[in-house]
Amino acid sequence: MESELKDLAPKPAEPQPESDESPLLKSEAVSPAPQISISSQSIEEMEIKLYAPFVRHDVYGTMGRGKLPCTEKLLLGLGLVFLLPIRVVGGMTILFFYYVICRVCTAFLAPSREAEQEDYAHTGGWRRAVILQSGRYLSRAVLFVFGFYWISETRKGNVVDGQLNSEANEPAHEDQSEEVERPGAIVSNHVSYVDILYHMSASFPSFVAKRSVAKLPLVGLISKCLGCVYVQRESKSSDFKGVSGVVNERVREAHQNKSAPKIMLFPEGTTTNGDYLLPFKTGAFLAKAPVLPVILRYPYQRFSPAWDSISGVRHVILLLCQFVNHIEVTRLPIYHPSEQEKEDPKLYAENVRRLMAHEGNLILSDIGLAEKRVYHAALNGNISMPTVLHQKDD
């Protein structure tokens, strides 16, 4: 596989500024960074030259606040009156119904606990079977209610003597993609929160989530049934391994044990507009286990389902007011790392990234979450921004 990647030339990306390789010190330890004024014209220049992965190109424009034509206003009005209430009620009903299923299946059962993590994903027998199968079906039901009536899935290429034969395109089947060997992790580009619903409906894997998610009504119990790995930035426990250590163990466990919960990781660390692929963090590749790359695209004509530079509430409302939404899924073969890649997680991550960009027709970009925050600050009316960014780390 790695030999095939050497022939893949990176796709042309937007011109990028030279990055500062030295880490930025804490704000109180350095003098204030130089500030630059941001006008509407300079924001447009930033979108073209620097922040293209986060720019919206749909009818609703930047931040979903663009001036709408009369036809779109009429369609949006119809969606607000007829679609939005039905879809909100339908989605909440399915969520509550699945919560009841999870509550029944976990009744009188203590969660598995390890290193400040707790979950019900390691539960066996009928409890796990009911949680998993009902979770997959109901996740697909939520997608249907939200307007994703059809999902196009393709298994692209086959592994032949370590080479990718990209000419063979076949319909994707979950069992076929894993029948040779079980991957340690599923890795996917990240476009929207809808990604999570799709992956739940396809394979019901665990995700990495904030610690606060575990305490949310309804969603908290469901996240524990998924087996989510919770991010705890500060821990008082002396034996806490950190998120990286927990993820590493979960990847190995999923690879070696077929009954273990699968784990799904978004190595970009943030969402894009769906046309770009950001640098990968190495967390999914430290365990040296094979990974299953999955590429998601959201074709659209009016409103883009990508959650890039728009508020969450506005995005949900506009998404639910759109009559039909679309998902295109491309599943690549299980990627087996070479010995060199096993010893160099950054090389492993970059080779998988280049393969996904090549097969998914995505543009490689060198920017990440730090630049996204600067772009969002500018869009939200921050008239000045620091010219030095925090260094991105893995």
The two tokens of residue 59 are 């009818």
Backbone dihedral angles phi then psi of residue 82, each to the nearest 5 degrees = -105, -45
Dist. CA 112–CA 121, nearest whole Å: 8
47, with CB counted inside 10 A (0-12, 13-18, 19+), is buried
pTM assigned to the model: 0.82
pLDDT of residue 178: 44
Dist. CA 268–CA 20, nearest whole Å: 20
Residues of the chain scoring pLDDT < 50:
1-38, 159-163, 166-168, 170-179, 236-240, 385-394
Dist. CA 50–CA 365, nearest whole Å: 10
> Are the CB atoms for 142 and 117 separated by under 8 Å?
no
Place of tokens 């890649």: 341
208-210 and 229-231: which strand pairing?
parallel
> Are the CB atoms for 354 and 8 separated by under 8 Å?
yes
Contacts of 200 (CB under 8 A, 6+ apart): 135, 136, 139, 226
pLDDT of residue 246: 87
SS (H, E, C) the chain: CHHHHCCCCCCCCCCCCCCCCCCCCCHHHCCCCCEEECCHHHHHHHHHHCCHHHCCCCCCCHHHCCCCCHHHHHHHHHHHHHHHHHHHHHHHHHHHHHHHHHHHHCCCCCCEEECCEEECCCCCHHHHHHHHHHHHHHHHHHHHHCCCCCEEEEEEEEEECCEEEEEEEEECCHHHHHCCCCCCEEEECCCCCHHHHHHHHHCCCECEEEHHHHHCCCHHHHHHHHCCEEECCCCCCCCCCHHHHHHHHHHHHHHHCCCCCCEEECCCCCCCCCCEECCCCCHHHCCCCCEEEEEEECCCCCCCCCCCCCCHHHHHHHHHHCCCCCEEEEECCCECCCHHHHHCHHHHHHHHHHHHHHHHCCEECCCCHHHHHHHHHHHCCCCEEECCCCCCCC
Instruction: Summarize pLDDT for 274-314 with one digit per residue, the tens.
Output: 999 999 999 999 999 999 999 999 999 999 999 988 999 99
